[in-house]
A and B are shown apart, each in its own frame.
Chain A
Amino acid sequence: MGYIAMILRKPPYGDINAAEAVRHALGAASGDWKVSLILVDGGVLLAKQGQDDTGTGFTNLESTLKDCIDMGVDVYADYLSLALQSVKEEELPDGVQVKNESDIASLLKEADQTMIF
């Protein structure tokens, strides 16, 4: 159906953006879109491991991100944002690829549609 790039700029849980990004990424992937989920700014915090949702009622977004990867969504994290948000590359789950700004610009240039969360 085409290629859609989704950019997540906000950290998980404080607002609905991260949950919406992964929800729409899963929906698009199941609808035969090629999907890239690009984590920038606070959005890279979605890829932190060890998120414990006990007692909060929240869907665990660490698990949902892994579901995205399993469903074939290409997940990218911005190199500079990782450094600024204190997320080490070795902390990232398998399947999350680290890219620099120009790589991300190329991904967006190729996309038929872009959504920003």
Chain B
Amino acid sequence: MSDLELSNRAVRGRALPRPPRAGTVAALAFVAFLAVATVAPWLLQTADPLAIAPREAFEPPSAAHWFGTDESGRDVYSRVIEGTATSLLIGVSATAIGLALGLLLGGLAGLGGRVLDFVVGRVNEVLFAFPGILLALLIIVLWGPGPVTATIAVGLSTAPGYARIIRGELVTVRSSGYVEAARVLGHGRARVLARHILPNALAPMVVLATLGIGQAVVWASALSYLGLGAQPPAPEWGAMLSAGRTYITTAWWLTVFPGLMIVLTTITTTVLGRALAARDGARR
């Protein structure tokens, strides 16, 4: 992004909208599916996700049980649907927490002057020295396992990354040509901040957040897989994956389907994030 491109906002109106790609359409369709699964899972379910039927355990996928049955005879398809809300809720909330904290820290560093920039920068570097998942584990050790803790843990662990990107954007935009021009034209600090700096610096955050949800879902699943997130018998994707792992050599459907949901969700958010990024780039 050159300054010229960034400041040439007049182009925006004339750019022809590109037709959405097939991938984007598929991703949007999957998001719609996930949304229904989250808000009204019973519309999609074929059975009670918690109802056990030991005599029907370990049945492979069939017309009656699309994704087969698990070790307690529960319907895997209905459990995967039921788990969507938990997994997505953890993903979205964790991203929101991470982003909010990132905004606060990044804002302080990018706009608060040298001393604050230095302090936040060093704290961030210390946090970066730990892998995010380790930080999340630490938080869970302190507060005990559970979906809420997992959400907070993932959120807190992703915050430093957001903070750093937000600070970078703020610094770039603050010293850009159009901001300087606005200052020269005599606009007040608040007006420049509100009209020019924030909108331009924060636009990429939408893209980041979309990409982040996918990552957060993977992290949340990882924590549940380790037994630190959702507790039994709650059907969370990571927890299902973990429970099915025992039978991976004899009942593949216990791991493949929850795993597929995690993969598809991550791919979907990535595709959408990129589409948003492309649109955002074109707009500028």
Same complex origin of A and B: no
Residues of B participating in the A interface, judged by any CB pair closer than 8 Å: none
